[in-house]
Amino acid sequence: MQNRALLLKLLSAVLLFGAWEIAGRVPVSFAFPTFLESMAALVRMTLDGTMLTAYAETLKPLAIGVAISAFLGIAIGLWVGLSKFFDWLFSPIFIVMQAAPLAALIPLLVLAYGIGLTSKVLVVCIMAMPVIVLNTSGAVRNTPESYKEMGRSFLASDLSILVRIIIPAASPVIFAGLRLGISAGFIGAILSELKITPTGVGDIITYSRSIADYPSMYAAIFSIILLAVLFLNLLEKIELALFKGNERGYVSD
């Protein structure tokens, strides 16, 4: 099953990159380079240190924002999912945060917190946390009552029911929310660099576009997507290690 999943991932990557190469050679647009040109630019920027220097800046708000969003998002989601009162109190806030146009909020964050690290971390948190909170609370709220009743019948404490029953039962949806939230956090990190101050990978994208160096621009965009995919796959491995019953297979297997 694992070999089949890996094969399907590799096949989808080959199809995507092949379509990219063909579209660049047609060409779809003069501003759309081929896949090979973009990868050559990525290798060049990696070898001369440009990409590593850029990621040293980009990863600061990204790592801090994702860590805060994951920790607080799961904690608040558990809290909201276990209490109808806090669900009524906090769920609308995170629904509004998820629906709000972030680009319109960035100038307000800059006015309040300046153009430094704090504003960029807040952008990542605003993008990532609502998804994590809402998925976690929904998963906890929809845990089958029969599971909880079974724990109570064995005289388990509320904490034991939470740790041993509710969280394992809700873990697939919680981790799905984490993956979606972290993906949104990556978007927020790049958006903050494009809208607040051009630093890190956002600076490469902005500068390359301004001088019409489109292979470098697409290489920078590809690198952040690749990093996000690798991180999400790592998160999936962590989920399977923590909750061994959550392996997902195929109907035909």
Per-residue model confidence (pLDDT) at position 146: 80
At 172-184, the pLDDT tens digits run 888 888 888 888 8
Per-residue model confidence (pLDDT) at position 175: 86
Per-residue model confidence (pLDDT) at position 112: 81
Average the pLDDT over each of 48-52, 56-60, 70-74, 145-149 and give the range with the smallest value.
145-149
Helices (H), ranges, the chain: 2-25, 35-47, 50-82, 84-99, 102-113, 117-141, 145-153, 158-161, 167-195, 200-210, 214-242
Q: Where does the pLDDT of residue 202 fall: very low under 50, low under 70, confident under 90, or very high at 90 and above?
A: confident
Fold for 35-245, please state it. MetI-like fold (1.10.3720)
Mean pLDDT of 38-48: 92
Are 103 and 97 a contacting pair, CB within 8 Å? no
Name the pTM for this structure. Answer: 0.79
Mean pLDDT of the chain: 84
At 241-253, the pLDDT tens digits run 776 655 554 333 4
Select the highest-mean-pLDDT range: 40-44, 125-129, 140-144, 162-166. 40-44
Per-residue model confidence (pLDDT) at position 250: 38
Cα three-residue angle 53-57-59, rounded to 5 degrees: 110
* pLDDT score of 110 more than 50: yes
Per-residue model confidence (pLDDT) at position 1: 55
* pLDDT score of 43 more than 90: yes
Per-residue model confidence (pLDDT) at position 253: 41
Question: Percent of the chain having pLDDT more than 70?
Answer: 94
Per-residue model confidence (pLDDT) at position 106: 81
Mean pLDDT of 82-96: 84
Q: How far apart are CA 1 and CA 103, in angstroms?
A: 42
Which amino acid, residue 122?
A: L
At 23-41, the pLDDT tens digits run 888 877 788 889 999 999 9
Output the six-digit token pair for 251. Answer: 């109907």
- DSSP string computed for 126-173: HHHHHHHHHHHHHHHHTS-HHHHHHHHHTT--HHHHIIIIIHHHHHHH
Output the six-digit token pair for 179. Answer: 């993956």
Per-residue model confidence (pLDDT) at position 44: 92
Q: Where does the pLDDT of residue 8 fall: very low under 50, low under 70, confident under 90, or very high at 90 and above?
A: confident
